[in-house]
């Protein structure tokens, strides 16, 4: 199956491209290289450009009329930056995605798999969230994701567009062959920070927020191995029409996580076990907007998609560490 993959030069996109290939499918990558590195595209079919460029999209479809679905991952994704630059986030994530969806419809390419986020969920006692739980997106970034979910739901109800919305929990790790992974120079997310502290690139790992209402006071997340997340896309593409038939709706939302909640202290303990050494730790108050967190109820992913996560958090940590040692070769910076 040929699949249009926007954002295919990014962290999740490049790994998903590989998973698609290994399952016998062909990704057609569309990416502006706004952030994703050229090296992650490798030798794949690649169009460098913007998702809202209608001429380019027409050319892509003209040259690949056999594209059967689109995975729409291209987006700006940095939460603090979205607070500082809301215009750029709403323009790129909302206005441009809207153009893309309308364009796909006009080009008779109605199947869309959309990258949404678990950061939409409101805080819930017990922290396990189902797709029906209340939402309270805390940042402009998260609000762009919620807006596009709504747009997809409304367009699917009114037109031939069909949408599966995947709410990703917290992807970590790298692809199994260490050809792509986290590429930010200073990764802001927790595992990237741990790898930097472990490699001596920073003095200590800071736990931000130790008074949360969780079992040890630190934030809780559902860390999913990026390779598992990539497999969820392969599966969703393969059974796209069956999924919507099962739910009897033109669009649907599915949580993609492991189903296990892990606190920051528990993540640090796992990390030290895999790394084989203690990591220097400091503690600080939560940063503005820091969420207590959530973990996925994965009943729907299992029932409707026939997919569950297979890899462990230790696997993900080991692959993140291995990527941390390897990435200079691919990116040119450590």
Active site residues: 141
Residue with tokens 């741990």: 194
Would you count residue 117 as binding ligand NAD (CB under 6 A)? yes
Would you count residue 34 as binding ligand NAD (CB under 6 A)? yes
CA distance 259 to 280: 29
Would you say 185 or 276 has its CB closer to ligand NAD?
A: 185
CA distance 162 to 152: 8
Would you count residue 104 as binding ligand NAD (CB under 6 A)? no
Would you count residue 35 as binding ligand NAD (CB under 6 A)? yes
Phi, psi (degrees; rounded to nearest 5) at 268: -60, -45
Rg (CA), the chain: 19
Cα separations in angstroms, 182 against 174, 235, 328: 7, 23, 11
CB of 38 to ligand NAD, least distance (A): 10
Would you say 13 or 176 has its CB closer to ligand NAD?
A: 13
State whether residue 286 is helix, strand or coil.
coil
One character per residue 123-162, x = contact with ligand NAD (rule: CB under 6 A):
----------------------------------------
Helix-helix angle 140-158:96-106, to 10 degrees = 20
Total of residues contacting ligand NAD (CB under 6 A): 27
Would you count residue 46 as binding ligand NAD (CB under 6 A)? no
| Two tokens, residue 269 | 């303990």
CB of 225 to ligand NAD, least distance (A): 12
Cβ count within 10 A of residue 103? 18
Q: Which of 1, 33, 39, 56 binds ligand NAD (CB under 6 A)?
A: 33
Would you count residue 90 as binding ligand NAD (CB under 6 A)? no
Would you count residue 79 as binding ligand NAD (CB under 6 A)? no
CB of 11 to ligand NAD, least distance (A): 4
Would you count residue 103 as binding ligand NAD (CB under 6 A)? no
| Two tokens, residue 298 | 């994965």
Site for ligand NAD in 172-201 (CB under 6 A): none
Q: For residues 48-63, b (16+ Cβ closer than 10 Å) or e, as one string?
A: ebbbbbeebbeebbee
Per the rule left: phi > 0, alpha: psi between -120 and 50, beta: everything else, 126 is: left
Would you count residue 259 as binding ligand NAD (CB under 6 A)? no
Residue with tokens 């990390």: 271
Would you count residue 165 as binding ligand NAD (CB under 6 A)? no
Give the footprint of ligand NAD on this chain (CB under 6 A).
6-7, 9-13, 31-36, 50-51, 73-77, 92, 96, 115, 117, 168, 170-171
């Amino acid at each position: 199956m040929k699949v249009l993959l926007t954002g295919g030069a990014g962290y999740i996109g490049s790994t998903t491209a590989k998973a698609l290939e290994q399952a016998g499918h062909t990704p057609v990558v569309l990416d502006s290289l706004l952030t994703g590195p050229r090296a992650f595209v490798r030798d794949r079919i690649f169009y460098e450009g913007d998702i809202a460029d209608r001429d380019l999209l027409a050319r892509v479809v003209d040259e690949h009329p056999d594209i059967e679905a689109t995975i729409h991952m291209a987006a700006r994704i940095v939460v603090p930056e979205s607070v500082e630059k809301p215009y750029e986030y709403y323009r790129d994530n909302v206005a441009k995605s809207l153009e893309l969806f309308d364009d796909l419809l006009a080009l008779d390419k109605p199947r869309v798999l959309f990258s949404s986020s678990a950061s939409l969920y409101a805080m819930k006692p017990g922290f396990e969230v189902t797709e029906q739980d209340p939402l309270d997106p805390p940042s402009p970034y998260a609000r762009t994701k919620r807006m596009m979910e709504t747009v997809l739901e409304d367009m699917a109800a009114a037109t031939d567009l069909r949408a599966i919305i995947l709410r990703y929990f917290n992807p970590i790790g790298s692809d199994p062959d260490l050809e792509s992974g986290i590429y930010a120079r200073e990764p802001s997310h927790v595992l990237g920070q741990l790898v930097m502290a472990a490699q001596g690139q920073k003095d200590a790992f800071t736990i931000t927020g130790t008074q949360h209402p969780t079992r040890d006071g630190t934030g809780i997340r559902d860390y999913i191995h990026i390779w598992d997340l990539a497999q969820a896309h392969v599966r969703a593409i393969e059974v796209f029409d069956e999924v919507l038939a099962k739910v009897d709706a033109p669009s649907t939302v599915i949580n993609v996580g492991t189903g296990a909640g892990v606190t920051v202290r528990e993540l640090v303990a796992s990390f030290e076990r895999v790394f084989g050494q203690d990591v220097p730790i400091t503690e600080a108050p939560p940063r503005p907007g820091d969420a207590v967190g959530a973990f996925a109820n994965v009943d729907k992913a299992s029932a409707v998609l026939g997919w569950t996560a297979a890899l462990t958090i230790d696997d993900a940590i080991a692959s993140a560490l291995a990527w941390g040692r390897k990435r200079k070769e691919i990116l040119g910076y450590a």
